């Protein structure tokens, strides 16, 4: 009996340590808070560093405006509008409740100023005015928002307006908001700087960014806050340290202060986990000058532009896959393609032999329903340390990747690159 009690105590202590690592004790809002959810991902790979209720459908509030701005950026890139076009305030836009800029019907604002006002002031009237300018009506614009969301992998998101004002059927998840932020960072690099604006002066009035963490958290340079009574205090945030960028999402904070404190904690733990699992400098992984003995495959030219190389593990009787090229070009509308491109990383070593052995054992550990996973090695040249070989199991759906990680002590889910 004493031995059993000792085992129980050890298990309880281990559970507490794991819980403290992923979900720091400072945030009590998650206890009995149906609005709460969170996730932290590596912006470069999409690897999930921590998550809690990340797929629970909740109200996004003004996080919605990130998608409104992405569609605005699309229109600018495509030449349909310019930064200096004038957006007319309709009576409907002027009728929005605060937070709002308060322009009267018939007044106008430049597109460039509207972008800054959405980022800093989070003005609902300006969000609606932009929607009408781009699509004729906010209703039509919301349909386009939802279509865009689904194209980029936000399958659990439905937008009903451009502002984020409460609508019972406007729903998203922490995981989807992280996908949106990652897509923004990776595909709108010439526009991301707008989200770093700490304050904006318009017609003699200075509007401070609601994301006050940009003033206090090292490396944070965006993205967006949100609040309604139904959603609680939401935040999507991105920070970069030592060449590594993480994205955090918190839904349902009880106050702006507790939300911000919790965001600090989960981002800190995310950076620590990245260091522990050798995820530094993933973005610029080079192709070796002399390729290893295994054959590299590429099914399109984007492989040569991705600065990345992935090879099958030696001894594995698997089809060679140009994984990075596929991740960059997969059609998100094709579920059979996009959903099968997830992988899990289970270790990283300087020794190629250790990686081979780890992967050979890993395949044997997986249950029958995951026997479609195939081993690959992702080489990485580290600064001053030579080559690092990362062990991955590929060819999984997201659900299979989540399941596979349960069988390994150190495991990260690696998402398709958008």
pLDDT score for 385: 63
Find out whether 250 and 273 touch, Cβ atoms under 8 Å.
Answer: no
* Geometric angle at alpha carbon 279, from 275 and 282, rounded to 5°: 145
pLDDT digits (tens, 9 = 90+) for 17-69: 333 334 443 444 456 889 999 999 988 878 888 899 999 999 999 999 999 99
CA distance 374 to 316: 8
Which has the closest alpha carbon to 131: 111, 101, 116, 113?
Answer: 111
First to last CA, the chain: 54
CA distance 306 to 296: 14
pLDDT digits (tens, 9 = 90+) for 188-225: 988 999 998 888 898 888 988 888 898 899 999 889 99
CA distance 381 to 363: 26
pLDDT score for 306: 31
Backbone angles phi, psi at 321, to 5 degrees: -120, 130
Structure-block tokens of residue 341: 């491109």
Structure-block tokens of residue 33: 């808070």
Residues marked active site are found at 62, 65, 122
Residue 208's CB is within 10 A of a number of other CB atoms, namely 13
pLDDT score for 113: 93
Find out whether 134 and 81 touch, Cβ atoms under 8 Å.
Answer: yes
Q: Name beta bridge partners: 80.
A: none
Structure-block tokens of residue 13: 């202590």
CA distance 206 to 44: 34
Question: Could you tell me the domains of the chain?
Answer: 32-276 (3.40.710.10), 283-414 (3.30.70.1070)
CA distance 195 to 362: 42
**Residue 4 DSSP SS3:** helix
Find where tokens 């099958």 sit: 312
Q: Which residues in the chain come in under a pLDDT of 50?
A: 1-29, 279-339
The answer to whether the bond into 360 is cis (omega within 30° of 0) is: no
Find out whether 334 and 407 touch, Cβ atoms under 8 Å.
Answer: no
Find where tokens 């800054």 sit: 116
């Amino acid at each position: 009996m004493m031995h059993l009690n000792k085992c129980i105590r050890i298990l309880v202590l281990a559970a507490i340590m794991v819980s403290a690592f992923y979900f720091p004790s400072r945030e009590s809002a998650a206890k009995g808070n149906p609005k709460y959810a969170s996730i932290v991902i590596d912006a470069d790979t999409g690897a999930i560093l921590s998550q809690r209720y990340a797929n629970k459908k909740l109200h996004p509030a003004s996080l919605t405006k990130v998608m409104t701005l992405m569609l605005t950026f699309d229109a600018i890139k495509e030449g349909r509008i310019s930064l200096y076009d004038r957006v007319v305030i309709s009576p409907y836009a002027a009728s929005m409740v605060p937070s709002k800029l308060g322009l009267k019907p018939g007044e106008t604002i430049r597109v460039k100023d509207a972008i800054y006002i959405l980022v800093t002031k989070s003005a609902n009237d300006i969000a609606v005015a932009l929607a009408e300018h781009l699509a004729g009506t906010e209703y039509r614009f919301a349909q386009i928002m939802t279509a865009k969301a689904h194209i980029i992998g936000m399958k659990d998101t439905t937008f009903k307006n451009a502002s984020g004002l409460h609508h019972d059927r406007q729903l998203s998840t922490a995981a989807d908001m992280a996908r949106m932020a990652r897509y923004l960072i990776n595909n709108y690099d010439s526009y991301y700087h707008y989200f770093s604006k700490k304050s904006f002066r318009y017609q003699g009035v200075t509007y401070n960014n609601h994301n006050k963490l940009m003033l206090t958290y090292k490396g944070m340079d965006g993205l967006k806050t949100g609040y309604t009574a139904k959603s609680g205090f939401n935040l999507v945030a991105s920070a970069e340290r030592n060449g590594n960028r993480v994205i955090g999402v918190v839904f349902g904070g009880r106050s702006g202060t507790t939300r911000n404190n919790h965001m600090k904690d989960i981002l800190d733990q995310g950076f620590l986990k990245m260091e522990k699992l050798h995820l530094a400098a993933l973005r610029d992984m080079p192709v070796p000058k002399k390729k290893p003995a295994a054959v590299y495959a590429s099914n399109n030219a984007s492989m040569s532009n991705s600065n990345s190389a992935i090879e099958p593990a030696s001894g594995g009787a698997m089809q060679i896959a140009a994984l990075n090229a596929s991740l960059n070009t997969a059609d998100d509308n094709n579920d059979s393609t996009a959903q099968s491109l997830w992988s899990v990383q289970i270790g990283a070593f300087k020794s190629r032999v250790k990686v081979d052995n780890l992967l050979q054992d890993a395949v044997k550990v997986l249950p029958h329903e995951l026997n479609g996973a195939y081993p690959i090695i992702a080489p990485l040249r580290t600064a001053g340390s030579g080559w690092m070989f990362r062990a991955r199991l590929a060819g999984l759906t997201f659900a299979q990747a989540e399941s596979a990680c349960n069988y390994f002590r150190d495991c990260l889910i690696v998402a398709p690159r958008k």
